[in-house]
Amino acid sequence: MISHRNFVSFITASKLNKDCNFSPNDVCISYLPLPHILEREFVYSMLAAGAKVVFFSGDVQKIKDDLVIVKPTIFLSVPRLYSRFYEVLKSKFN
C-alpha cells in the first residue's frame, strides 16, 4: 500500500535530485489519470516546486491542441503516446 509518507519521500527525493530541478517557471500538462501513480507523484513534485500544472481538456484525441495552447516546458507521458508522436513525425518527414 502506498502511504502519504511514500509521496513525501518521493517529493523530497525529486528536490534533491539535480536532474529534476523543477522551478516556478516550469509548466506541465497533466493528461494521465491521477490514480496513475507516476502522474500523481509528478504532479505533487511540480506543485511542491511551485511549477504550474495544467490539466488537459479531457479528450486524448485533442492532446496535440492542448499542447499548442499550454506550451509545456516539461511533458511526462507513457510510451504509447510517444510512439504515436513518432509515427506522425515519421510520416510527415518521409
Beta bridge partners of 30: 55
Q: Supply the range of the domain harboring residue 74.
A: 4-93
CATH number of the domain to which 89 belongs: 3.40.50.980
Q: What is the count of structural domains for the chain?
A: 1
Nearest to 41 by CA among 5, 90, 67: 5
Instruction: Please give the biggest Cα pair distance in the chain.
Output: 49
Query: Tens of pLDDT along the chain (94 residues)?
Result: 889 999 999 899 888 888 888 899 999 999 888 788 889 998 999 999 999 999 998 888 888 899 999 999 998 888 888 888 899 889 988 7
